[in-house]
């Protein structure tokens, strides 16, 4: 069956694809979105951002009620975990949100096609499901097929005892000892969830720091806090073998730089060494869409691929694998198709780790500025000196602001502390407007708030902080 006349067929209904589809429809285009998962929202809503944040919140409540209320004079006894109910709540959250996207498609008149999309040529996508094929003719195709778990060579993931992030969102029991391979944000978030629920957690990381790529000072503080919470780390260490033939799993590790191997016994392994672009089954080779040396769809600065009329966005192209980055790109492509000239500043894409405390960053790190030879000023303010943080007992961490030494323009912000993911937005907006640290410091911030720590860090950058 051939259905035609689309202006845009989007392949992939994740945050990149569904936002592109809705935006394009809002701009008057005739749009279809093909997704093979059977539920919209992609990795983010189904097996990523949303279920992980639901579990982070539930496990945080469990830990707080079990151990965190005594200092407030609240006595609680008999706290028990109902893991089944916790996981069911998470699944309910996911279901509600994925159905919400379906509703938004209907509201905006986007045709939702369930099926695996094959790009036959720049003007035709074939969606296959249950042995049936639907041909969609179109003026433009958008590849928004996202990413998949990066496998660890020699280790087979069974999503029961050896899991990826997907299995780690659905463990049927609390592990006695969870070994996490990879100290990136996904491994640390999921490790945190299961530690709070009672697991011993050991994180093995090849590099010599947690959250590689993050500002070095923040990484160090993050590692210190996670250790204080009970997480164990083996940094500068590589996993060389996983033997799951016995009752316990034996993981062989050795120093990344070489040295004696040792064996760690555990009952669950989480492999979280990154994600890779997903292009399987799209027919890209046949249609002539070029990939780069890391398997990502190659795009120009307007998201055009090597084939006219075929565009690509999100995790499947270059850039940080983050939902909000994919969303911005989705909007951009839609706007371009109607002749607008949108722009994304890739220096202002915030990143957040949703542990407690949260870690958030935007813009350049100190290491990046040094490498680029940019002279900068750094201003830092600890939450220990912030009255709101003191009054709620969340004093770990600090705000660090980086500004150009000559112009005072804010170049980056790195926050570890309570509500860091909320606080970072103020700096991101300021950076969009080309603000200086003095602009932030002279803006009246309400008292007593955590936001005052951002103002004080800005004061520390251009002058001196008041409360320190």
Ligand X SMILES: Cc1cc2nc3c(=O)[nH]c(=O)nc-3n(C[C@H](O)[C@H](O)[C@H](O)COP(=O)(O)OP(=O)(O)OC[C@H]3O[C@@H](n4cnc5c(N)ncnc54)[C@H](O)[C@@H]3O)c2cc1C
Q: Which residues of the chain form contacts with ligand X (CB under 6 A)?
A: 11-17, 34-37, 42-44, 48-49, 52, 116-117, 144-147, 165, 186, 278, 281-282, 314-315, 321-324, 326, 354
Which listed residue (67, 72, 447, 467) is catalytic?
447
**Could you tell me the two tokens for 235?**
């940094």
* CB distance 120 to 285 below 8 Å: no
Q: Tokens 């997480």 belong to which residue?
A: 231
Residue nearest to ligand X (CB): 146
Spatial contact of 442 and 384, defined as CB atoms under 8 Å apart: no
Q: Supply the minimum distance, in Å, between the C-beta of residue 127 and ligand X.
A: 7
Task: Mark whether 72 is an active-site residue.
Answer: no
Phi-psi region of 417 (alpha: psi -120 to 50; beta: other; left: phi over 0): left
Nearer to ligand X, 12 or 357 (CB): 12
Q: Classify 171 in phi/psi space as left (phi over 0), alpha (psi -120 to 50) or beta.
A: beta
Q: In what order do the strands lie in the sheet with 398-404?
A: 351-353, 358-363, 410-417, 398-404, 376-382
Nearest distance from C-beta of residue 234 to ligand X, angstroms: 22
- State whether the Cα torsion 368-371-375-378 is positive or negative: positive
Cβ at position 314, least distance to ligand X in Å: 2
Nearer to ligand X, 336 or 449 (CB): 336
Cα gap 351→7, rounded to integer Å: 33
Decide whether 49 or 201 has the Cβ nearer to ligand X: 49
Question: Between residues 36 and 220, which has the closer beta carbon with respect to ligand X?
Answer: 36
Which residue's CB is nearer to ligand X, number 105 or number 278?
278
Is 90 or 364 the residue whose CB approaches ligand X more closely? 90
- Separation of alpha carbons 165 and 200, rounded Å: 17
C-alpha to C-alpha distance for 110 and 214, rounded to whole angstroms: 38
Q: How far is the CB of 37 from ligand X (least distance, A)?
A: 4
Residues forming the active site: 447
């Amino acid at each position: 069956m051939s259905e035609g006349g689309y202006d845009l067929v989007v392949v992939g209904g994740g945050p990149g694809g569904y936002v592109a589809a809705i935006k394009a429809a809002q701009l008057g285009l005739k749009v279809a979105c093909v997704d093979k998962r059977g539920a919209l929202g992609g990795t983010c809503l189904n097996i990523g951002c949303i279920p992980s944040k639901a579990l982070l919140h539930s496990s945080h409540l469990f830990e707080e009620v079990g151990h965190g209320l005594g200092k407030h004079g609240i006595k609680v006894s008999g706290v028990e975990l109902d893991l089944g109910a916790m996981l069911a709540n998470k699944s309910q959250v996911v279901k509600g949100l994925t159905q919400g996207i379906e509703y938004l498609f209907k509201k905006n008149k986007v045709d939702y096609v369930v099926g695996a999309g094959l790009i036959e040529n720049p003007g035709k996508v074939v969606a296959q499901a249950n042995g049936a094929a639907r041909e969609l003719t179109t003026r433009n195709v958008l590849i928004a097929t996202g990413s998949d778990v990066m496998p660890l060579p020699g280790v087979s993931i069974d999503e029961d005892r050896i899991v990826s992030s997907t299995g780690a969102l659905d463990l049927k029991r609390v592990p006695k000892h969870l070994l996490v391979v990879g100290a990136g944000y996904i491994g640390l978030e999921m490790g945190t969830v299961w530690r709070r629920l009672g697991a011993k957690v050991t994180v093995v990381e090849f590099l010599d720091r947690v959250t590689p790529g993050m500002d070095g000072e923040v990484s160090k503080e993050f590692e210190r806090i996670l250790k204080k919470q009970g997480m164990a780390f083996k940094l500068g260490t590589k996993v060389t073998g996983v033997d799951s033939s016995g009752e316990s799993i034996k993981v062989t590790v050795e120093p990344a730089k070489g040295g004696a191997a040792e064996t760690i016994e555990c009952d669950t392994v989480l492999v979280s060494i990154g994600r890779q672009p997903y292009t399987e089954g799209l027919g890209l080779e046949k249609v002539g869409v070029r990939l780069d040396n890391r398997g990502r769809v190659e795009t120009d600065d307007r998201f055009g691929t090597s084939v006219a009329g075929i565009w690509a966005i999100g995790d499947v192209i270059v850039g940080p694998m983050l939902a909000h980055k994919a969303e911005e790109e989705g909007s951009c492509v839609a706007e371009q198709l109607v002749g607008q000239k949108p722009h994304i500043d890739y220096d202002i894409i915030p990143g957040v780790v949703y542990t407690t405390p949260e870690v958030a960053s935007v813009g350049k790190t100190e290491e990046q500025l040094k490498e680029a030879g940019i002279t900068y000023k750094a201003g830092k303010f600890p939450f220990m000196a912030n009255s709101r943080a003191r009054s709620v007992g969340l004093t770990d961490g600090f705000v660090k602001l980086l500004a150009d030494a000559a112009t005072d323009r804010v170049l980056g912000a790195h926050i570890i502390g309570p509500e860091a993911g909320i606080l970072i937005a103020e700096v991101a907006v300021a950076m969009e407007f080309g603000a200086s640290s003095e602009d932030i410091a002279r803006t009246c911030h309400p008292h007593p708030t955590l936001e005052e720590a951002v103002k004080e860090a800005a004061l520390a950058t251009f002058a001196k902080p008041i409360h320190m």
